[in-house]
Amino acid sequence: MKNIGFIGWRGMVGSVLMDRMQAENDFSGLSPVFFSTSQAGQAGPDIGVGPQPLQDAFDIAILAGLDAIVTCQGGDYTRVVHPQLRAAGWEGYWIDAASSLRMEEDSLIILDPVNRAVIDRGIENGVKDFIGANCTVSLMLMGVHGLFNNNWVEWISSMTYQSASGAGAENMIELIQQMGVLGRSCTPGQSALELEQVVSGKMRGTEFPQEQFGTALAGSLIPWIDRCMDNGQTREEWKGENETHKILQGERFIPIDGQCVRVGAMRCHSQALTIKLNADVPLADIEAAITGANEWVQLVPNEKAATLAQLTPISVSGQLHISVGRLRKMTIGPEYLTCFTVGDQLLWGAAEPLRRMLLILAGR
Ligand code: NAP
């Protein structure tokens, strides 16, 4: 497997993927071809051999000549191009960050530190579509799958605090524009209440930049991510339970539900978990299970100084480790556990499982 197409390489996920692949020398031995949906013919990324011109990401004939395609372009692109390629008889590997194919019967959701056995079985059985999980689902599992491994989890409620970059490059730029408008509202000598009134007026005003988010995120938050489902959940909330089940492919269906909230963090998603255990497992055993599950999980002591230093979006931004802290039994009862976890959604929540899947398929 050598000829690999990359689509969506200049978006948030794609640019982090390019950085990681260069940092790990993943391009060595591969012949990458870069595509664009909007900039065909212009210069592509320079991965050390000079930029090549970008190919048209809708050109089925060129795509069909590739051994594998890695796309971070988004679900609309996948919905248009994937069926055309398969209909044209293409049998290459499709590795995708978007959600469109995640729940298809013949696809697998990939998170190899958690479900490598499922992936290996899938490759053996001829699976060709390998799809990255929703970012909060990946980060939740990377943080606490030690509890799943021990079959201790009865159910989970997850309350998320998701960053602007989770919505893509344009949204991230808009958050900074919103912050800029608010920052420029501050004049010397204003009282805090006067400042709040000026700022709130700007946030409610028609001039406030909100084309992407539809409302103010800077100085506020948005308790809605993705579209509405029939049962009142948002699709982001629906993914928690359904994607976890597909990743783990366990015998037991573990209920997972909660609320997903967009906050004004730039990068990295956080979540507060309430976990109903099926036994009064000692906290020391829980800590050992969490830290022993994979090499990236990092337990943060339940103390203020450690929390401020290690359990915030900025403390994990650009880092591969997943922090799990505020871990304690709840006062509700000894089988109720709470913790707070934060990780870089552009790394383990998006780019990292894709590049690792490519390497698995390339036999590296
Ligand atoms: P994105 O930043 O919006 O990029 C997607 C595409 O938008 C780019 O490839 C580019 O395509 C185009 N684009 C338009 N304006 C741009 C700009 N100013 N800067 C860069 N690109 C621009 O989307 P994304 O967040 O990377 O998400 C891609 C897919 O991954 C989505 O399906 C998303 O749901 C999924 N995902 C995202 C995250 C996350 O944290 N962001 C996590 C997990 C999964 P052209 O070059 O072809 O114009």
The DSSP code sequence of 293-344 is S-TTEEE--SSHHHHHHHSSHHHHTT-S-EEEEEEEE-TT-TTEEEEEEEE-
Token duo for residue 344: 């870089």
Burial of 295 (0-12, 13-18, 19+ CB in 10 A): exposed
Tokens encoding 82: 């994937």
pLDDT reported for residue 6:
98
> Rounded CA gap, 148 and 251, in Å?
12
Below-70 pLDDT ranges, the chain? none
What's phi and psi for 216, nearest 5 deg? -75, 130
* Inter-residue contact 277 to 296 (CB < 8 Å): no
**Closest atom of ligand 1 to CA, residue 134:** 43
Tens of pLDDT, residue by residue over 18-68, are 999 999 999 999 999 999 999 999 999 998 888 889 999 999 999 999 999
Measured between alpha carbons, how far is 158 from 332 in angstroms, rounded to an integer?
A: 17
Known catalytic membership, residue 269: yes
Q: Per DSSP, which regions of 143-195 are E strands?
A: 153-162
Atom number of ligand 1 nearest to Cα 35: 47
CA-CA distance, 180 to 189, in Å (whole number)? 20
Q: Is ligand 1 within 6 A of the CB of residue 76?
A: no
| Per-residue pLDDT at 49 | 80
Question: Is the whole-model pTM more than 0.85?
Answer: yes
pLDDT in the model for residue 234 = 98
Say whether 260 is catalytic.
no
Question: What is the model's pLDDT at position 264?
Answer: 98
Binding site membership of 100 for ligand 1 (Cβ less than 6 Å): no
* Ligand 1 atom with least separation from CA of 269: 40
Q: How many CA atoms lie within 13 A of 141 on its CB side?
A: 29
Residue of the nearest CA to atom 8 in ligand 1?
11
Residue 178's pLDDT is: 98
Q: Under a CB-based contact definition with an 8 Å cutoff, are residues 362 and 27 in contact?
A: no
